[in-house]
Amino acid sequence: MYRNLMYICFRKEIALQLVMIKNMKNSQLYKGSLNTIIMKLLEENGKMYGYEITQKVKAITSGELNITEGALYPALHKLEAEGILDVEMEKVDNRMRKYYKLTEKGTTETVNRLSELEDFIRNMQSLVNPSPKLEF
Amino acid sequence: MYRNLMYICFRKEIALQLVMIKNMKNSQLYKGSLNTIIMKLLEENGKMYGYEITQKVKAITSGELNITEGALYPALHKLEAEGILDVEMEKVDNRMRKYYKLTEKGTTETVNRLSELEDFIRNMQSLVNPSPKLEF
DNA sequence: TCCTATACATAATACTATTAGGTATTTAAA
DNA sequence: TTTAAATACCTAATAGTATTATGTATAGGA
């Protein structure tokens, strides 16, 4: 019964597509949180390069959140233009890397963003879980 | 010293504007969560009308989240077009109200959305708070 | 050899939300 | 009593972000 489906699924292209669908399922909710994620990771790790950020996020969220490059790079450029990030080029293994780190302004701004994120999460939990069960 | 500022602030228009600024601070993060919020509120309250939803959200979030009408009404119309919501007109005090409620499909879909929201919140907390303090 | 992974980037498109209007009734305040 | 605010719906122009689909280029494994 499911042989044909199994066979089809094992074909690389379709398997990859299934992985994409799985990972993309809740992308809508992540809209607007990219900058906060980038800034928090940089606050924690000092300096990071773009590709590293995508991999780190994927690892932390067990593959559930995949930052697309089309979103990441423009976001990094914009944060740099706003004076939130500083950039520093480095050549590793003949490949170019652009390391980003928080400026002083960026560090201050990160504190604000994180407190906003806490408010956001608290509010969303209030909306979704209106009568929290108290546990003793 | 602050007399002039106080005077200015007590002028209605500017006072209102200051409230707006306070409430708008973290709007970026809420992008993408509107549909989930609407669906959850309807799941909980059976049926609601648009204006009621904005007031309910404002109340639950202590005024921190104000759903704009330009976002709410198009969202409701779209959910209706997708078969997630049913609509029912009612005239109260000579004013028209459009009550929305979840369809069967909408109820099923709400379960999915809420589990996606839980994943989202969990992932965001992992990103922001990488080493959670265990409390016993 | 060819595909995957690494590492950057951008252009076209889609989607969502904000801003800023509009209509109309009821109620509270000045 | 006139005015403003609250209630209740709506949409169009604009802004902003993300997805999708490309492109370039090097390194390494099947």
Q: Is residue A31 in a domain?
A: yes
Nearest-5° Cα angle at B16, B15 to B18:
65
Q: Is residue B85 in a domain?
A: yes
Q: Tell me: pLDDT of A5 over 70.
A: no
Number of domains in chain B: 1
Residue contact A36–B30, C-beta within 8 A: no
Q: Is residue A10 in a domain?
A: no
Q: Tell me: pLDDT of B4 over 50.
A: no
Q: Is residue A45 in a domain?
A: yes
Could you tell me the distance in Å between the CA of residue B94 and the C1' of nucleotide D2?
A: 23
Q: Is residue A5 in a domain?
A: no
Q: Which of A57-61, A104-108, B13-17, B101-105 shows the lowest mean pLDDT across its residues?
A: B13-17
C-alpha distance from residue B94 to each of A23, A118, B53, B91, B98 (Å): 49, 42, 20, 6, 13
- Domain assignment of residue A42, given as a range: 24-128
Residues near B23 by beta carbon (within 8 Å), at least 6 away in sequence: B63, B64, B65, B66
Residue contact B127–A26, C-beta within 8 A: no
Q: Is residue A14 in a domain?
A: no
pLDDT, tens only, A73-122: 999 999 999 999 999 999 998 899 999 999 999 999 999 999 999 999 99
Task: Read off the pLDDT of each residue in B89-118 and give the average, rounded to a whole number.
Answer: 95
As given in the structure block, the two tokens for residue B4 are: 């002039």
CATH code for the domain in which residue A107 is found: 1.10.10.10
Q: Which of A52-56, B16-20, B76-80 shows the lowest mean pLDDT across its residues?
A: B16-20
Q: Is residue B24 in a domain?
A: no
Residues near B20 by beta carbon (within 8 Å), at least 6 away in sequence: none
Could you tell me the distance in Å between the CA of residue B54 and the C1' of nucleotide D22?
A: 42
Residue contact B116–A61, C-beta within 8 A: no
Q: Which of A40-44, A114-118, B45-49, B129-133 shows the lowest mean pLDDT across its residues?
A: B129-133
Task: Read off the pLDDT of each residue in B4-17 and give the average, rounded to a whole number.
Answer: 35
Residues near B41 by beta carbon (within 8 Å), at least 6 away in sequence: A127, B48, B53, B56, B57
Compute the distance between CA of residue A45 and CA of residue B95 in angstroms, rounded to an integer: 57
Q: Tell me: pLDDT of B101 over 50.
A: yes
pLDDT, tens only, A12-68: 333 333 433 344 444 689 999 999 999 999 999 999 999 999 999 999 999 999 999
Could you tell me the distance in Å between the CA of residue A96 and the C1' of nucleotide D22?
A: 21
Is the Cβ atom of A31 within 7 Å of strand D at any atom? yes
Per-residue pLDDT at A1: 29
Is the Cβ atom of B120 within 7 Å of strand D at any atom? no
User: Is B125 in the A-facing interface, judged by CB distances under 8 Å?
Assistant: yes
Quote the distance between the C-alpha of residue B124 and its chain's center.
Answer: 19
Per-residue pLDDT at A132: 56
Per-residue pLDDT at A48: 98
| A36 close to A3: Cβ distance less than 8 angstroms | no
Q: Is residue B118 in a domain?
A: yes
